[in-house]
């Protein structure tokens, strides 16, 4: 008996309209968390936890926008004779554009963490300072030094490799947020709102990690492996220190860890670039 064509070659299932709409909402949630575009910032934690899969891709997009803007400014100045095409100005412009495109939390959070650390207050006071995002001169100075380190590191990278270095830094920095969130304990559920990614499950963590690693290896091959290991070890160490300090993680400590990871990748790329050019 001949088999029915419908049974021998079943049609592939197409995503439903509801499934597509939910993915769009998750993307909007990720955009609102990582960038200055103020959308979907009141989304439930469960949605942001699913939206972390978009973090690596959005990190690459932010990096390309920033590096493209810096390169455009550098070429424009070079065309007018105001700057050398391979000069460092483009690197500094890229870092400033990245800061301008990223969510304000990526500046305020490290400043509030630095402020709390400098005051050497007890756990309850530190949590209060993080909840209110209190920032003093110490916090502002720490953030300024962090961004100066990023700019100086990117300027030391060979001009042709700056875009790749920035992509790797932002990509792995955003992945670091996911590593910190998975399996962590909120510092004080009764005093602070839980970290936005507190509902992160293994499926989203695994998908995001596989995507981040695949993109890193595709861009940097063997160097990518070294950078992934660097960020992973650094992130886990920072998470342990934060747990000892506060008893768990907060949104501010997670973002700060991501910024530190991003800076570390740029510094590593700068060191390797200098070595490759003979110091």
Give the model's pLDDT for residue 1: 45
Per-residue pLDDT at 81 exceeds 80 = no
- Is residue 16 a part of any domain in this protein? no
Specify if 30 maps to a domain.
no
Q: Which residues contact 216 (CB under 8 A, 6 or more apart)?
A: 168, 171, 172, 224, 227, 228
Q: Does 127 reside within a domain?
A: yes
pLDDT of residue 171: 96
Does 264 reside within a domain?
yes
Mean pLDDT of 68-81: 84
Q: What backbone torsions phi and psi does residue 5 show, to the nearest 5 degrees?
A: -60, -30
pLDDT band at 128 (very low <50, low <70, confident <90, very high): confident
Among 13, 8, 24, 51, residue whose Cα is nearest residue 178 = 51
110 and 138 in contact (C-beta within 8 Å)?
A: no
| Residue-level pLDDT at 249 | 87
- Cα angle, residue 255 at apex, residues 253 and 100 outer, rounded to 5°: 140
Burial of 258 (0-12, 13-18, 19+ CB in 10 A): buried
Residue 17 lies in a domain: no
Confidence band for 184, pLDDT divided at 50, 70 and 90 = confident
Phi, psi angle pair for 186, to nearest 5°: -60, 140
Is residue 84 a part of any domain in this protein?
yes
Q: What is the mean pLDDT of the chain?
A: 87
- Answer whether residue 91 shows pLDDT above 60: yes
Residues 6+ apart with CB under 8 A from 75: 85
CA distance linking residue 135 with residue 56, whole number of Å: 29
Residue 268 has pLDDT above 80, yes or no: yes
Specify the number of domains making up the chain: 1
Tell me whether residue 99 is in a domain: yes
**Domain span including residue 139:** 43-276
At residue 249, the 3 state secondary structure works out as strand
Q: Say if 137 falls within a structural domain.
A: yes
User: CA-CA distance, 165 to 168, in Å (whole number)?
Assistant: 5
pLDDT at 204 > cutoff 80: yes
């Amino acid at each position: 008996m001949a088999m029915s064509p419908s049974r021998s070659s079943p049609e592939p299932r197409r995503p439903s309209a509801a499934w597509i709409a939910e993915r769009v909402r998750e993307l909007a949630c990720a955009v609102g968390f990582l960038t200055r575009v103020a959308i979907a910032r009141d989304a439930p934690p469960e949605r942001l936890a699913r939206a972390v899969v978009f973090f690596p891709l959005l990190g690459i997009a932010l990096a390309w926008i920033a590096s493209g803007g810096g390169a455009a400014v550098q070429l424009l100045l070079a065309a007018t004779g105001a700057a050398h095409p391979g000069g460092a100005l483009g690197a500094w412009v890229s870092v400033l554009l990245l800061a301008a495109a990223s969510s304000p939390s990526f500046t305020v959070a490290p400043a509030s963490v630095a402020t709390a650390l400098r005051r050497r207050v007890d756990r309850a006071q530190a949590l209060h300072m993080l909840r209110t995002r209190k920032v003093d001169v110490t916090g502002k100075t720490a953030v300024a030094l962090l961004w100066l380190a990023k700019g100086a590191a990117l300027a030391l990278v060979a001009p042709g490799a700056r875009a790749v270095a920035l992509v790797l830094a932002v990509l792995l920095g955003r992945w670091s947020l996911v590593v910190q969130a998975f399996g962590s304990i909120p510092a004080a559920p009764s005093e602070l709102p839980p970290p936005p990614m507190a509902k992160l499950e293994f499926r989203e963590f695994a998908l995001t990690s596989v995507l981040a690693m695949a993109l890193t290896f595709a861009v940097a091959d063997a160097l990518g492996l070294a950078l992934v290991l660097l960020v992973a070890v650094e992130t886990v160490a920072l998470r342990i220190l934060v747990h000892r300090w506060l008893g768990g993680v907060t949104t501010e400590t997670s973002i700060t860890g991501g910024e530190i990871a991003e800076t570390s990748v740029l510094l590593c790329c700068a060191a390797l670039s200098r070595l490759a050019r003979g110091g």
